[in-house]
Structure 1
Amino acid sequence: MTTLPHKPDWFLHAHLAATLDERLCILKQPPEQIILAAADGDESYRLLSMRYPHAHFQEYDSRETYLQAAQIIRKAKQNWWQKLHSNLPAQTVSDQLPGNQSADMVWSNLGLIHQNDPVAVIKNWAEALKPDGLLFFSHFGPDTLKEVMTLWRTEGIVVKTPNLIDMHDLGDMLFQHGFYDPVTDMDMLTLQYTNAERFIDDMRTAGLWQSLQFNSEIDAVRILADAWQSNDIQNVTLELVYGHGVKKQVLPDNTAPVQFYPSSTT
């Protein structure tokens, strides 16, 4: 089971969700069926349910503790009337979305970071969406934790980061596996920490720490603790990747769409 810190802080998810939410202003047709492909402490549902109050939500995540944490936050915010009449997202303990092409939107805030086959995930996202359905997602790029990685390499710690993916590679995966007009972009976020414990807790909440593959995690933690104790490290950089795309229409072999346009009048 993937565990969370005792008191998880969802500020990274909140930052990413808010950035993605700003891009929804361009949508003309509100989605009716929205799939949340990863729980994020209620940050995405809170924003999307305010923007689309009539939408129906489903939430999927194989990390049961993440689903539970999101539901606890939601229920704590409800008054007695809302508890009687509101419909919180139906939750499923799985990363596999239903491949029935029924969703108007798939929204995944850091849903890729704990999954080891991004192509399979992207294909599944496409299978869940209606033709011309919308995907919005966030992820971490390869320059994430560059200061920490440099420290570990200097100290002889080997760390593999297979889940940190370049935004251009993600764009290619989207285009090749179910989406047209994919758009990816990135920015850098620098955080300052005063101790290793808080840093590790935040990276665990984000799902990032669990994605790292150490030759010795115990030594890696010890080196971090020593580095913060001696002020050898303070800043931590995260490369934040954002993406969206439109689900391709899948036509039978030897067929093509026929479009009709109104004739112009003069």
Structure 2
Amino acid sequence: MPALPSFDLRRVRERFNRAAPDYDRHAAVQREVGRRLDERFGWLKLEPKRILDLGSGTGQMVRAMRERYPAADVVGLDLAENMLRRLPRRRWWSPRRDAVAADMHALPFAGGSMDVVLSNFAVQWSDRPDVLFGEVARVCASGAPFAFTTLGPDSLQEIRRAWAEVDPTPHVHQFLDMHDLGDALVGAMLADPVMDREVVTVTYPTVDSLLADLRGVGVGNAQRGRAAGMTGPRAWRRFREALAGQAVDGEIPLTYEIVYGLAWGTGVSPLMQGVECGQ
């Protein structure tokens, strides 16, 4: 598996906490892909008692799972506590939100405690997919599905090209190929992984509208070792010009390579240790 740059999780958390109030207004792609992920559960014959949504954000998939499986307890986990404050309550009259603020690489749940684990647009924020998938395998009951979406390496290529004209320093995260993700699932002892992909292109009338959507969903350079300080005004202007120069018929494209994954819990994980903590 290719080496991934490590993330500054404090910076990731800060970005998503800032984005939380307006996230839903900018998350059209995330919503549509989440809808498609939810549809895939229609193919599965399940009666889950407990479901975990990794990187739950403002709660789209929590709502979808509660609607699809009304008898199940659905837990939303996110690194950003401001996102969790927007999760729906279990019942309208209940103060409980079934929300857990935690790092998805260290899940605070007992082994085998989840009948479904899912994740929409969060796996790309992992710089240790082997650890992440190992934790998923640990908390999945035997036979429990793990279904997720993430970004593939062709995502945000327009941003990558524009920065390449200005600055050789990486400004866009490296995303794993679906075959590497499949290998990581197998390495985590998850069974029968199935991977597929699709390309979604969104167009924008201006550079400002494109960048507003990216900022609005928390996208930014959170890699450790990034250049310190603010990007200078001359470099920023050149980047904007390079991005605008990719317009086709007056619209600037932005590409998302959406990777879908499905695998199954086996009751074992390479990360299982002597003591596990329940939630």
**By the TM > 0.5 criterion, same fold?**
yes
Separation of aligned partners in 1, 2:58 and 2:99: 15
Q: Taking structure 1 as reference, are residues 52 and 132 closer, same or farther at Cα in structure 2, changes over 3 Å only?
A: same
Aligned Cα RMSD in Å?
A: 2.7
1:52-91 superposed matches below 5 A: 52-68=69-85, 70-71=86-87, 74=88, 82-85=91-94, 88-91=97-100
For residue 141 of structure 2, the aligned residue among 130, 150, 160 is 130
- Indicate how the Cα distance of structure 1 residues 204 and 27 shifts in structure 2: closer, same or farther if over 3 A, else same: same
The answer to which of 87-96 and 8-17 deviates more is: 87-96
Distance 1:158 1:91, change over 3 A: same
After superposition, the C-alpha distances for 1:84-131 in whole angstroms (9 at most, x for unaligned) are 258533333432322421000111112222232111111111111111
Task: State the secondary structure of the residue aligned to 1:7.
Answer: helix
- Could you tell me which residue of structure 2 aligns to residue 218 of structure 1? 231
Q: Does 1:199 align with 2:216?
A: no
Tell me whether 1:29 sits opposite 2:38 in the alignment.
no
The answer on whether the counterparts of 1:114 and 1:210 sit within 8 Å (CA) in structure 2 is: no
TM-score, normalized by length of structure 2? 0.76
Query: Per-residue deviation at 1:207?
Result: 4.3
Evaluate the alpha carbon distance shift between residue 105 and residue 21 of structure 1 in structure 2; reply closer, same or farther with a 3 A threshold. Answer: same
C-alpha contact (below 8 Å) 1:161/1:211 kept by paired residues: no
Higher relative contact order (CA 8 A, sep 6+): 2
Distance 1:241 1:174, change over 3 A: same
The answer for the alignment partner of 1:92 in structure 2 is: 101
Paired residues of 1:204 and 1:210 also in contact (CA < 8 A): no
Partners of 2:237 and 2:51 lie apart in 1 by 43
Distance change (3 Å), C-alpha of 1:189 and 1:177? same
Which structure 1 segments of 5+ residues have no match?
252-266
Check if 1:248 corresponds to 2:266.
yes
| Counterpart-to-counterpart distance in 2, 1:222 and 1:65 | 32
TM-score normalised over the length of structure 1: 0.80
CA distance in 2 between counterparts of 1:87 and 1:133 reads: 25
User: Over alpha carbons, which structure has the higher Rg?
Assistant: 1
Aligned-residue sequence identity (percent) comes to: 24
Partner residue of 2:55 out of 3, 19, 38: 38
